[in-house]
Amino acid sequence: SQELEQSPQSLIVQEGKNLTINCTSSKTLYGLYWYKQKYGEGLIFLMMLQKGGEEKSHEKITAKLDEKKQQSSLHITASQPSHAGIYLCGADIGSNYKLTFGKGTLLTVNP
Amino acid sequence: GAVVSQHPSWVICKSGTSVKIECRSLDFQATTMFWYRQFPKQSLMLMATSNEGSKATYEQGVEKDKFLINHASLTLSTLTVTSAHPEDSSFYICSADRTSGKGETQYFGPGTRLLVL
Protein backbone atom coordinates (compact mmCIF):
# COMPACT_ATOMS: atom_id res chain seq x y z
CA SER A 1 0.00 0.00 0.00
CA GLN A 2 1.04 3.58 -0.61
CA GLU A 3 2.75 5.01 2.47
CA LEU A 4 1.69 8.51 1.56
CA GLU A 5 -1.82 9.02 0.26
CA GLN A 6 -2.58 12.20 -1.61
CA SER A 7 -6.04 13.46 -2.40
CA PRO A 8 -7.55 14.35 -4.68
CA GLN A 9 -5.66 12.78 -7.58
CA SER A 10 -6.72 15.61 -9.82
CA LEU A 11 -8.50 18.87 -9.37
CA ILE A 12 -9.99 21.39 -11.77
CA VAL A 13 -10.91 24.79 -10.40
CA GLN A 14 -11.97 28.11 -11.76
CA GLU A 15 -9.50 30.95 -11.45
CA GLY A 16 -9.98 32.79 -8.20
CA LYS A 17 -11.29 29.80 -6.27
CA ASN A 18 -9.66 28.33 -3.19
CA LEU A 19 -8.55 24.73 -3.04
CA THR A 20 -7.00 22.21 -0.66
CA ILE A 21 -4.81 19.19 -1.30
CA ASN A 22 -4.26 16.59 1.41
CA CYS A 23 -1.42 14.25 2.21
CA THR A 24 -1.96 11.47 4.76
CA SER A 25 0.23 8.81 6.30
CA SER A 26 -0.36 6.07 8.83
CA LYS A 27 3.12 6.70 10.17
CA THR A 28 4.69 9.67 11.90
CA LEU A 29 6.24 12.09 9.48
CA TYR A 30 9.63 13.41 10.51
CA GLY A 31 9.66 15.98 7.77
CA LEU A 32 6.93 16.81 5.29
CA TYR A 33 7.81 18.52 2.02
CA TRP A 34 5.55 20.03 -0.60
CA TYR A 35 6.79 20.31 -4.16
CA LYS A 36 5.35 21.50 -7.43
CA GLN A 37 6.21 19.79 -10.68
CA LYS A 38 5.44 20.72 -14.23
CA TYR A 39 5.00 17.58 -16.31
CA GLY A 40 8.38 16.23 -17.41
CA GLU A 41 10.33 18.73 -15.33
CA GLY A 42 12.07 18.78 -12.02
CA LEU A 43 10.59 19.57 -8.65
CA ILE A 44 10.21 23.05 -7.24
CA PHE A 45 10.45 23.20 -3.47
CA LEU A 46 7.48 24.94 -1.88
CA MET A 47 7.56 24.34 1.86
CA MET A 48 8.83 22.06 4.54
CA LEU A 49 7.08 21.28 7.82
CA GLN A 50 8.59 19.51 10.78
CA LYS A 51 6.70 20.30 13.94
CA GLY A 52 3.23 19.12 14.86
CA GLY A 53 0.75 21.93 14.33
CA GLU A 54 3.17 23.89 12.18
CA GLU A 55 1.82 26.16 9.49
CA LYS A 56 3.73 28.03 6.82
CA SER A 57 2.64 30.40 4.11
CA HIS A 58 4.25 31.71 0.98
CA GLU A 59 2.32 34.12 -1.17
CA LYS A 60 -1.06 32.46 -1.65
CA ILE A 61 -0.04 28.98 -0.58
CA THR A 62 -0.39 27.73 3.00
CA ALA A 63 0.72 24.35 4.27
CA LYS A 64 -0.15 22.80 7.60
CA LEU A 65 1.00 19.72 9.48
CA ASP A 66 -1.39 18.30 12.04
CA GLU A 67 -0.52 17.84 15.69
CA LYS A 68 -0.02 14.10 15.28
CA LYS A 69 2.33 14.72 12.34
CA GLN A 70 0.48 12.28 10.12
CA GLN A 71 -1.46 14.58 7.86
CA SER A 72 -0.66 17.71 5.94
CA SER A 73 -2.75 20.01 3.81
CA LEU A 74 -1.79 22.48 1.14
CA HIS A 75 -4.21 25.33 0.62
CA ILE A 76 -4.16 27.75 -2.29
CA THR A 77 -6.15 30.94 -1.98
CA ALA A 78 -7.54 32.72 -5.02
CA SER A 79 -5.98 30.29 -7.47
CA GLN A 80 -4.39 31.51 -10.69
CA PRO A 81 -3.44 29.71 -13.91
CA SER A 82 0.18 29.92 -12.79
CA HIS A 83 -0.67 27.58 -9.92
CA ALA A 84 -1.44 24.78 -12.36
CA GLY A 85 0.82 21.75 -12.17
CA ILE A 86 1.42 18.60 -10.20
CA TYR A 87 1.71 18.98 -6.45
CA LEU A 88 3.68 16.31 -4.67
CA CYS A 89 4.05 15.71 -0.98
CA GLY A 90 7.21 13.98 0.15
CA ALA A 91 7.99 12.84 3.64
CA ASP A 92 10.77 11.46 5.72
CA ILE A 93 8.97 8.52 7.27
CA GLY A 94 11.83 6.57 8.70
CA SER A 95 13.82 9.51 10.04
CA ASN A 96 16.64 8.62 7.69
CA TYR A 97 16.41 11.58 5.32
CA LYS A 98 15.05 9.41 2.51
CA LEU A 99 11.90 10.85 1.04
CA THR A 100 8.80 8.88 0.19
CA PHE A 101 6.45 10.61 -2.22
CA GLY A 102 2.74 10.61 -2.73
CA LYS A 103 1.36 10.05 -6.23
CA GLY A 104 0.72 13.71 -6.75
CA THR A 105 -2.28 15.91 -7.40
CA LEU A 106 -2.77 17.34 -10.87
CA LEU A 107 -4.17 20.83 -10.56
CA THR A 108 -5.78 22.62 -13.48
CA VAL A 109 -6.87 26.22 -13.10
CA ASN A 110 -9.25 27.46 -15.75
CA PRO A 111 -9.14 31.17 -16.56
CA GLY B 1 19.03 29.26 -4.05
CA ALA B 2 20.86 26.01 -4.49
CA VAL B 3 21.02 24.70 -8.05
CA VAL B 4 21.25 21.12 -9.22
CA SER B 5 21.75 20.32 -12.86
CA GLN B 6 21.29 17.13 -14.81
CA HIS B 7 22.73 16.12 -18.14
CA PRO B 8 21.44 15.19 -20.56
CA SER B 9 17.90 16.49 -20.23
CA TRP B 10 16.66 13.78 -22.55
CA VAL B 11 18.16 10.83 -24.35
CA ILE B 12 16.99 8.26 -26.85
CA CYS B 13 18.99 5.08 -27.17
CA LYS B 14 18.79 1.64 -28.69
CA SER B 15 18.02 -1.38 -26.59
CA GLY B 16 21.17 -2.96 -25.20
CA THR B 17 23.23 0.20 -25.00
CA SER B 18 24.31 1.98 -21.82
CA VAL B 19 23.36 5.50 -20.88
CA LYS B 20 25.07 7.76 -18.37
CA ILE B 21 23.21 10.54 -16.58
CA GLU B 22 25.07 13.21 -14.62
CA CYS B 23 23.83 15.07 -11.58
CA ARG B 24 25.75 18.12 -10.43
CA SER B 25 25.31 20.46 -7.50
CA LEU B 26 26.43 23.77 -8.94
CA ASP B 27 26.89 25.99 -5.93
CA PHE B 28 27.20 23.68 -2.96
CA GLN B 29 28.82 20.44 -1.98
CA ALA B 30 26.65 17.40 -1.50
CA THR B 31 27.89 14.44 0.45
CA THR B 32 24.67 12.65 -0.37
CA MET B 33 22.70 12.57 -3.59
CA PHE B 34 19.56 10.62 -4.35
CA TRP B 35 18.34 9.09 -7.58
CA TYR B 36 14.63 8.78 -8.28
CA ARG B 37 12.62 7.33 -11.13
CA GLN B 38 9.19 8.49 -12.16
CA PHE B 39 6.91 6.65 -14.56
CA PRO B 40 4.06 8.52 -16.27
CA LYS B 41 1.36 9.56 -13.83
CA GLN B 42 3.22 7.85 -11.01
CA SER B 43 5.05 9.16 -8.01
CA LEU B 44 8.78 9.50 -7.64
CA MET B 45 10.35 6.29 -6.45
CA LEU B 46 13.69 6.39 -4.71
CA MET B 47 16.16 4.13 -6.48
CA ALA B 48 19.34 4.65 -4.54
CA THR B 49 21.28 6.86 -2.20
CA SER B 50 24.64 7.98 -3.52
CA ASN B 51 27.33 8.75 -0.99
CA GLU B 52 30.57 10.46 -1.92
CA GLY B 53 33.50 8.16 -1.44
CA SER B 54 31.51 5.04 -0.70
CA LYS B 55 29.19 2.58 -2.36
CA ALA B 56 25.65 3.57 -3.17
CA THR B 57 22.76 2.15 -1.16
CA TYR B 58 20.05 0.67 -3.35
CA GLU B 59 16.39 0.38 -2.52
CA GLN B 60 14.71 -2.97 -2.55
CA GLY B 61 13.99 -4.19 -6.06
CA VAL B 62 16.57 -1.97 -7.75
CA GLU B 63 19.33 -3.91 -9.50
CA LYS B 64 22.68 -2.44 -8.54
CA ASP B 65 24.42 -4.09 -11.48
CA LYS B 66 22.01 -2.51 -13.89
CA PHE B 67 21.93 0.96 -12.39
CA LEU B 68 25.54 1.85 -11.65
CA ILE B 69 26.07 4.84 -9.43
CA ASN B 70 29.32 6.68 -9.01
CA HIS B 71 29.64 9.62 -6.63
CA ALA B 72 33.06 10.76 -7.76
CA SER B 73 33.16 14.12 -6.03
CA LEU B 74 31.14 16.29 -3.69
CA THR B 75 29.44 17.93 -6.67
CA LEU B 76 28.92 15.06 -9.09
CA SER B 77 27.03 11.80 -9.09
CA THR B 78 26.43 9.69 -12.16
CA LEU B 79 23.82 7.06 -12.88
CA THR B 80 24.59 4.61 -15.66
CA VAL B 81 21.77 2.49 -17.01
CA THR B 82 23.54 -0.55 -18.38
CA SER B 83 22.11 -2.65 -21.21
CA ALA B 84 19.03 -0.48 -21.32
CA HIS B 85 15.71 -2.00 -22.31
CA PRO B 86 12.41 -0.36 -23.24
CA GLU B 87 11.06 -0.96 -19.74
CA ASP B 88 13.84 1.30 -18.43
CA SER B 89 12.28 4.22 -20.27
CA SER B 90 11.38 6.69 -17.58
CA PHE B 91 12.03 10.08 -16.10
CA TYR B 92 15.09 10.04 -13.84
CA ILE B 93 15.50 12.79 -11.26
CA CYS B 94 18.36 13.35 -8.88
CA SER B 95 18.46 15.40 -5.74
CA ALA B 96 21.39 16.69 -3.74
CA ASP B 97 21.34 17.00 -0.02
CA ARG B 98 22.47 20.34 1.29
CA THR B 99 22.21 20.61 5.01
CA SER B 100 21.45 24.28 5.21
CA GLY B 101 19.84 24.20 8.60
CA LYS B 102 16.65 25.59 7.12
CA GLY B 103 15.00 22.25 6.56
CA GLU B 104 14.83 22.19 2.80
CA THR B 105 17.84 20.01 2.46
CA GLN B 106 17.08 18.22 -0.79
CA TYR B 107 17.37 20.16 -4.02
CA PHE B 108 16.13 18.48 -7.15
CA GLY B 109 17.55 18.47 -10.63
CA PRO B 110 15.38 19.13 -13.69
CA GLY B 111 15.28 15.45 -14.60
CA THR B 112 16.40 13.33 -17.53
CA ARG B 113 13.91 11.66 -19.80
CA LEU B 114 15.16 8.34 -21.13
CA LEU B 115 13.53 6.59 -24.05
CA VAL B 116 14.86 3.17 -24.98
CA LEU B 117 13.82 1.93 -28.39
pLDDT > 50? residue B32: yes
Residues of B in contact with A104 (CB under 8 A): 43
Q: Which residues from A are below 8 Å from B when comparing CB atoms?
A: 2, 31, 33, 35, 40-43, 45, 48, 50, 88, 90, 97-104
pLDDT confidence bin for B15, thresholds 50/70/90: very high
Provide the pLDDT for residue A43.
86
Task: State the nearest Cα–Cα gap between A50 and chain B, in angstroms.
Answer: 8
Interface-testing mutation among B11, B39, B90, B108, with chain A (most A C-beta atoms within 10 A): B108
User: DSSP labels for B56-105?
Assistant: -EEPTT--TTTEEEEEEETTEEEEEE-S--GGG-EEEEEEEE---SSS--
Q: Could you tell me the mean pLDDT of each successive run of 10 residues in chain A, 111 residues long? A: 86 97 90 86 86 92 93 97 94 76 93 92
Q: What is the dihedral of CA B29, B76, B102, B42, to 10 degrees?
A: 180
Q: Do A42 and B111 touch (CB under 8 A)?
A: yes
| Total CB pairs under 8 A between chain A and B | 52
Distances (CA, A) of B20 to A64, B80, B83, B95: 39, 4, 11, 16
Is residue B105 within 8 angstroms of chain A, CB to CB? yes
Q: What are phi and psi of A75, to 5 degrees?
A: -120, 130
pLDDT > 80? residue B41: no
